Amino acid sequence: MAFELPKSTYDKFNGYSSSKQSSLLQDVKKALQEVYEDDRVKADGQIVGVNLDGFRIEVLPTFYLNEDNDGNLDTDIYTYPDTNEGGRWRETKPKKEIRATRELNDECTDNTYRHLSRMIRAWKNNVGINFSGLWIDTLTYNFFNSYSEHKNSSYKNYGDLTKDFFKYLYDQYETSPDKKIWRAPGSNQVVHGSWQGHRKIKKAYQLCLEALEDEVIANENWSKVFGINFPIEENETISESLLSIRKAPDEQFIEYEYSGKVDIRNSVSIDYSISRESKTWKMLKESLPSMTVPMSRDLEFHIQSIDVEPPYEVKWKVRNVGSLAKEKKQQRGKLQPSSFGKHKTSKLVESSNFNGEHWVECYVIKNNICIARDRISVPI
């Protein structure tokens, strides 16, 4: 959230011989600490973060310093502090971006641009992919300008819309896999992104295709793409029956446990090792992801990489979907803490007791919000 401060405040800190930007952020931090507890407020690069119950406000102090062609104050351009790399003043133009996206949305039928942007946010939170909001808005903006026929998509065509969007993303990856920079709509400012999640994009496209081709699995597939709350059925009884089919009897969902407070803005990657694992089997596992795990082995799941600064909480979920587990009524799906370790050293120890498909998911919780998640398939 940008807060407009008077130019006199800019003149004061810009007159410092050093630490201009960090001094401004510290001053803003002190002001906020008069209202909120000290440990809830932290200066971080360009903003001051305020961690409240289940959500976070990022305060960006800004100034109007530029003039337009008529010599008037240009209120489209904000100047803000950046403490990185020794400190500097930078500019941002969010109002131009807002105008450009609103104009495109007005060209669409039934707010289609806005709806697709929100749906892609739901997807990234569901699958645990770190797409910034501005990058999502930029990609959807470019998509509609490339495929203008989708501007007139109605609700009944949203299946084709999302399928074509994921296909568009994957085509973009295949064309320029190393691309890191895009240009924001309206402002033409740099937007950073990465195709590290290209496999999840391809998976989403495949699930959309299957959902459109087979009505029997359609609702299940849409849930795999967008989360347990999709699709939202008009008939509450139908909605409840669909949920009962998709979940284990005692299954817990991170979305419900944290009241919908899932906002993926970081990355975590998990892997596992197997007791009595030979070098040959390990090589096969790495080259053939579908390689099955032998029965009666101990499995140790661990965090391979993470970009979250401690402190944070790690939760795990084991889901067995094999027929034997169903027959014995021993399906799993509860959220559980780590077996041992904390933060990056957190580990979960399990045993391979049932034949069939399994998956394990890891959730990273910070300030009561799930900010990173990853899932790994474990065929036994």
Question: Percent of the chain, pLDDT > 70?
Answer: 87
Residues belonging to the chain: 380
* Whole-structure pTM value: 0.85
* Phi/psi of residue 375, nearest 5 degrees: -130, 145
CA dist., res. 270 & res. 109, Å (int): 41
What is the DSSP-derived secondary structure letter of residue 294?
A: P
Higher pLDDT, 261 or 178: 178
- Are 196 and 282 in a shared domain? no
Concatenating the DSSP letter of every residue in 160-224 gives HHHHHHHHHHHHHHHH-TT--EEE-TTT--EEE---TTHHHHHHHHHHHHHHHH-HHHHHHHHHH
> Do 138 and 170 fall within a single domain?
yes
CA 306/CA 327 separation, integer angstroms: 37
Confidence of residue 281 (pLDDT cuts 50, 70, 90): low
Residue ending a domain, among 199, 217, 246, is 246
| pLDDT at 234 (0 to 100) | 47
Domain boundary pick from 46, 71, 92 = 92
- E strand or H helix that includes residue 225: helix 215-226
207 and 273 co-located in one domain: no
pLDDT cut 90: percent of the chain above it: 66
pLDDT higher than 70, residue 141 = yes
Q: Residue 230's pLDDT is what?
A: 74
Q: What is the pLDDT of residues 64-112, one digit of tens each?
A: 999 988 889 999 999 999 999 999 999 999 999 999 999 999 999 889 9
**Cα gap 316→320, rounded to integer Å:** 13
Amino acid identity for residue 78 in this structure? Y
Q: In this structure, are 303 and 230 located in the same domain?
A: no
Are 103 and 242 in a shared domain? yes
Whether 139 and 234 share a structural domain: yes
> Quick one: pLDDT at residue 235?
45
Residues 53 and 161 in one domain: no
As a whole number of angstroms, the distance between CA 363 and CA 346 comes to 11
* 83 touches 25 (CB < 8 A): yes
* Residues 366 and 235 reside in one and the same domain: no
Report the DSSP beta bridge partners of residue 373: 363
> Residue 264 is part of a domain; what is its CATH number?
2.60.40
Same domain, 138 and 265: no
Closest Cα to residue 350, out of 376, 373, 328, 329? 376
- Structurally, the chain folds into a number of domains equal to 3
Q: Determine contact, residues 258/370, Cβ cutoff 8 Å.
A: yes
Q: Is the pLDDT of residue 26 over 50?
A: yes
Q: Are residues 15 and 73 in the same domain?
A: yes
Given 246, 280, 303, the domain boundary residue is 246
Same domain, 59 and 170: no
Domain coverage including residue 180: 99-246
- Cβ-based burial of 235 (10 A; exposed 0-12, middle 13-18, buried ≥19): exposed
Mark whether 116 and 217 lie in a shared domain.
Answer: yes
Number of H helices, E strands in the chain: 12, 15
359 and 377 Cβ atoms separated by less than 8 Å = yes
Summarised one tens digit per residue, pLDDT across range 117-131 is 999 999 999 999 999
